[in-house]
Structure formats: C-alpha cells, structure tokens
Chains A and B, each alone.
Chain A
C-alpha cells in the first residue's frame, strides 16, 4: 500500500470537515449538527471536504453556493439534504451531488470515505474559470493596473482614498460578505466599505426575502402554527428557550468559545421544562468567561428610539422597551407573565436577556399546564413579533446599517450575531399564509 493510500485510510478516522449551507427552514437543524462528533463544521470552504446544503436554496443564493463549492480543496463532494421537505430541488450544476433524506451526518461520513479511498471521484468545478473583469495584458506589468492607482489589477477594483473618522485619508476597500458567511444568518449580505478594520459605509441585503421555504424546523414550527391556531404555551415556551440557547451558542462561537457553545447547544437539544437550574449554571459560566464584559460591553448599542414599534422582541427589551405580544394574551396574564427588560442596550445586554428569558420560559413551560396561547394572527417568536406578512428580523433590516456604520469589523459581527436575525421566519410565515405560493 502506498503512503498516500495509507494516509487516506488513517484520514477516514478524522471528523469530516463540512461546510454547511443552511437553506430556508434548516437553520437550527444545521446549527445542531455541531453536536455530532463525526463531522466538524468549518468556517471557510478551503479546508472543507464535504459541502452540505440543507433545504431548498433560493435562486438568489445559488451562485454563492456554487462559488463556495469551487473554493473547496480536492477531494470534495456535495451532500444535498432535504431536511424533511418533499421534492428536493437541485441547484444548477450540482449534478454529481448526493441527495439524502435521512441523517445528513451519515451521508457526509460515507461521502468523505468514498472520496478518500477513490470509490468516488472528486467533483469538478461548477463555474467556468473566468476573470471578474478583463485585465490580462493591460498596464505596465500586464496586471490590469495603470500606474499606482488606476485600472483593475487582476480584475479586482482598486481601493480608493476616502476620509476616515480620525480625519485621515486612507484607502477604502469594498468587501461584500455573505450570504454564506458562517457567523451571519444564511442569506444576509453585508456590503461593507472597509478602511483597515473599520466599516465606513455599509449596505445590507436579504437574499431569503423571496424564498419559498418547504418545511419549518422543529424550532420554528410551534410559532408558525400559533399564527392561526391555539398552541400549548408549554410547547411555545420550550421552543423559545431552545431558540434563545441556540442564539447564545452563536454568540459564544463568535467570541471564540466553541466548547462552551457546544455545551449550550447540548443543553438546548435535550431541554425539558424543569431545566432552569441547568441554564442558570450555564449563565454563571458564561459570566465568568468575561464575554459580557471585554467582548461585548458597549458593542452594538441599539438606542430604544431606533427599534421602538418594530416589535423586535429581545432586541427591544434589551434596550429598555417593554414590548412583548405575550402581555396582550390573557393566557399569559393568567400565568403572571411579566417581560424581562434590560436597559443596557448593547450586545452584552441582549445576551444576558436571552439567558434570563430562557430561564423564564422554562419556568412558564413548567407552570403552563394545559393552557394554550390565544391565536390572534400575530405571535411573539424568540425574535419578536411575527405576522403573516413580515417578521421582526425583516423589520430590523431597515435600521441595521445605522447600527453597523463606523464600527470595527469585529464589533459589526458581534452586533449582527447579538441581533439573532432569523431570515427564514418571514418566508415561512408567508408560505403558510399563501400555501399555493409555496407549492
């Protein structure tokens, strides 16, 4: 046996490096895959060997998925996971991809083994290898530039001089991040103009706005049902606590605390109504990591007037607003529900509030008994007010640029993570309101 073959055999024992794309409806399912030791979700496609695409990727994102695919090192394979939806679509160009309905992890492991030992060929690139702009042979070095500042060297636009908040004039580089940046919700594109690590100007886009979600995840399902029918408060609050813990796990990941994020995800996966003490203990550990102080304090300040009336849920409540649809529900009033409010307004306050609300929700779930929430066509989800036509995260989009402008990139990421944007809710709710559109 040759050395390469031997190494390949040994390599099959390694966790499969997977770059995961969460199509609409699979967000929380993909996040929970971190708990599986057989695979390792990686932040960049370069070292990934398996591309896992969950759900039906909207047409607006297909190009990004193809580019991620082509950025992966050989040998590589793609697994298309239907995630419970019937009739899986296949993005254009993914003819060799492996479709799977059941456990995606087993499919990833099998695909990885096959490409390592050569039972399966590595997938060729999907997109043609063309320059982003014509440049070859232009300019003094044939690099496409002219002099120090002009042209499109190697097909890339040059950075341009622009003022920065220190009163200097330095170069400003346009960088578009998303829609598959692992710290952002899938579908979010942040088009930033960077001066060093400072975001001077920013535009945001939501590529999931017109998506048709096939099936809601177990996390979103109770809230979507509550739009039109009476759902048990115990179910709603347990789902809310889970969602908050998953959001906390994302914040921990962004702060470099992967192991602790796994602990939070594990608690979320096995959560029961009586687990308040478990969450409180997690909150104590999180407080000891200083994440609420030196990572997030003062980061992503949201002034209350910016989000008042948007129904932004925890984001509003962490800025001192007493906005919560549950206040209007007699069933919740019966339980003595009073929303938690934090006046901090920064990312630390939002993390603190979500941990507090998770404990509160578990307490509500334990005491709710057979009570059911009143169906009013609107529901307070873990992200805020969800209506048939729009979600809290979609309404937050209008104020998002003003929250990100003139902050360092690290703070921009922490801010977006702390807002816990969920771009699936809107399409899911609209699909429910107009079933014929989703079909």
Chain B
C-alpha cells in the first residue's frame, strides 16, 4: 500500500473518470462509443483496485476488459446495419424500469458501503497479496476453480458446436430433420 497526495489525486482521477465514463455509456449515440466508454470506466475501476493493493486483480481486470470490449464493439458493428456504428441511434430503452433498477442497486450498494463493518487493518505488501491469491487459487479452493474452469471451457466448445453450420443432422439451413424421441411420432423440425 502506498500513500501520499499523488496517490490521492490518482484515486480521484480514476474515480471521477469512471463515473463520467459510466454516465457517458448511456448518453452516447453509438454502439462503439458506448463500448469504449464502458471500457474506460472499467479501466478506472481497475486502477483503483491496483491502488488498493490488489495489483494482480486490477491489472487482470484491465487486461481482460480490453479484449472483451473490442469483441463486443466488433460484433455490434457486424450485426447492426450501420457503417462502423457511426450512424447515431438511441442506446437506451425501457427507461423507467432501468431507472428503478439502477436506483435500487445504487442504494443497496451505498448502504453496504456506508453501513458495512470493514476491517481496519492495513493492506500487506502487494507482492504477498499476489502470492496469497495464487495459493488460494491452487490450494484450498483449487477444486472449485478448476471445476468452474472446465465447465466454462466445455460450455464454450458446446456453444461453438451448436453455432456451427454443420451439425449432427446435416448442414443447418438444408432442411435437416431431427429424429423424434418417440418411436411412432413424426420427425420434428
């Protein structure tokens, strides 16, 4: 944990930047801009996590979000009939419900932040924090994390197989017929 006026200033830059960028996500008129504002917001949060002493988590957050937001932006541009997503469009819908959900979530999180009983011990050296994380991931909780990892991987492979054009029953758009589950039923489509 490092402290000082420079660190405080950095915190406020990240914090305010995240909030402004998060607000802009909903006020912008383009999908790609929205994705990049969201990324900026996440990067600010990642920076704050680093300042809090969890260097590894903060850096990994930034690392992962870069790729994810890029994929999101490209997929949105690909599927929306809009050259490069530069045609302005309304990015929000169901405004009332979204506002209610947002306010409830904010109040709940703020309540946790203000009323929660946080421990007041100083954060250890960041390098030991990284080591502790590693021990946790590959020690006591190894079974949980490895099972989750394998489950996610098989889900991804399954999704790719389902989305693929060639399935078990022939090419997707070529009138392929699934066999029915009942012996005397007509094959379903």
Contact = CB atoms under 8 A, between A and B. Distances in A.
Interface stretch (A105-113, A142-150, A265-273, A378-386): A142-150
Interface in B79-117: 79-83, 86-90
Interface in A162-182: 166-167, 170-171, 173
Given A166-B165, A167-B172, A143 B87 contact: yes
Given A143-B88, A167-B172, A156 B83 contact: yes
Contacts of B81: 148-149, 158-161, 171
B78 A171 contact: yes
B69 to A, nearest CB: 19
Interface residues of B, number: 15
A141 B86 CA distance: 12
Given A159-B81, A170-B78, A141 B173 contact: no
Nearest to A139: B88
A439 B86 CA distance: 50
Q: Is the interface of B mostly helix, strand, loop or mixed?
A: loop
A141 B29 contact: yes
B165 A167 contact: yes
A102 B173 CA distance: 64
A145 B88 contact: yes
A231 to B, nearest CB: 52
Contacts of A154: 86
Given A141-B29, A145-B88, A196-B78, A159 B83 contact: yes
Interface in B39-64: none
Contacts of A149: 81-82
Contacts of B88: 140-141, 143, 145, 153
Contacts of A160: 81
Contact of A158 (B78, B82, B165, B173): B82
A167 to B, nearest CB: 5
Nearest to B171: A167
Contacts of A140: 88, 90
Interface-centre pick from B81, B89, B173 (highest chain A CB count, 10 A)? B81
A352 B87 CA distance: 46
Contacts of A171: 78-83
A159 B82 contact: yes
A147 B88 CA distance: 9
Contacts of B90: 140
A75 B77 CA distance: 36
Contacts of A158: 81-83, 87
27 contacts: A140-B88, A140-B90, A141-B88, A143-B87, A143-B88, A145-B87, A145-B88, A148-B81, A148-B82, A149-B82, A153-B83, A153-B86, A153-B87, A153-B88, A154-B86, A156-B83, A158-B81, A158-B82, A158-B83, A159-B81, A161-B81, A167-B165, A170-B79, A171-B80, A171-B82, A173-B83, A196-B78
Given A140-B88, A143-B88, 4 more contacts: A148-B82, A153-B83, A166-B165, A196-B78
List 4 tightest A-B contacts by C-beta distance, closest first.
Answer: A141-B88, A153-B87, A171-B81, A149-B81
